[in-house]
Amino acid sequence: MTGSLGGDTPAVARERVRSGLRRARRNTELTQSDVARRLRWSLSKVQRIETGEVAVSETDIRALLQLYGITAASTVAAYAADANLARRERWTTPPEYRKYLTPGLRRLLQFEVVATRVRSYQSLLLPGVLQTPALAEYIIEQAGAQLTAEERRVRLDVRLRRRRDIIERPDGPRYYLVIDESVLLRTVGDDLLMAEQLEDLAKVAAHPHIFLRIVPLDESEGAIIGTFGNFQLMSLSDEDADDTVLYRERHTSDRIDHDVDEIRSYRDAFESLWMLSLPEDASLRLISYAALGRRVRLDRRPVKGQ
């Protein structure tokens, strides 16, 4: 357990508390039911703490550490500092944005800032972090017909912020992306919008910390695994496999998941998709070819007035 750092976010502090307490309990060979009984808590309270659903109080932290036999003053102080930081989650999101962002998205932004490695799979559209401003604006306009102009502005700002945090930041995380080939073939907007997007994607794929692969359409196993839907795994440490969180987004909902078995299942799915995909160099050629095809179609269109 390390002490809280000035650059840490409340979501990361909560994750550190969650994973640390879970490991400490397992080291004592106590079950969650044992902990609940000894502390006279409900079982659901212990479960919510270990899944990161709630920010644990400093008082509860100290009770748990005492039960687990952790008494070193520096370790107790580090847990207490993280517990206090975890309860300040509101400060990381600009006040004017909070009412427009889901709790899952607010926590996602915090995890992405400090992640060392991101694994992402997308089956229908490019992830928001790789969308050009023009494509992002088009998608938000089309998908958010019921949104106000201010809501659309906030969502676009957040999408561009995530691009800066992951793609454009020099010390950003290693970003591993698998996309289905259909993403390159599907027209979103028009050929010009797609040509510019694919050309930008080819440039981004050349960044030293970006690793992009494409699942070809004729890969049937990839289609089956792809039924997991879009997801993103974020590793907060290179040393500890437990420091990984899962983000899943659906049409009307999203969520952060800490369940170890669930994360392992999605990590296995990602590794399988990665192995079934074209290598990075072949994927880059396919992206460039798709962009060129869009440009050729634009060139062949008759010019008005001629």
Q: What is the pLDDT along the chain (306 residues), one digit of tens a residue?
A: 443 333 467 777 777 888 889 889 989 989 999 999 999 999 888 888 887 777 788 889 999 999 999 989 999 998 888 888 777 655 456 666 777 887 788 888 878 877 889 999 998 889 989 999 999 999 888 876 677 888 888 888 888 888 888 888 888 889 999 999 999 999 999 999 999 999 999 999 989 999 999 999 887 777 777 777 889 999 887 655 667 889 998 766 788 888 888 899 999 999 999 999 999 999 999 999 999 999 999 998 876 655
Greatest alpha-carbon pair distance for the chain in Å reads: 85
90 CB-near residues (< 8 Å, 6+ apart): 98
pTM: 0.76
Element (H, E) at 199: helix 191-205
Tokens 């997308």 sit on residue: 122
- Do residues 247 and 263 touch, judged by C-beta distance below 8 A? no
Where do the domains of the chain lie, and which CATH numbers do they carry? 10-91 (1.10.260), 93-300 (3.30.870)
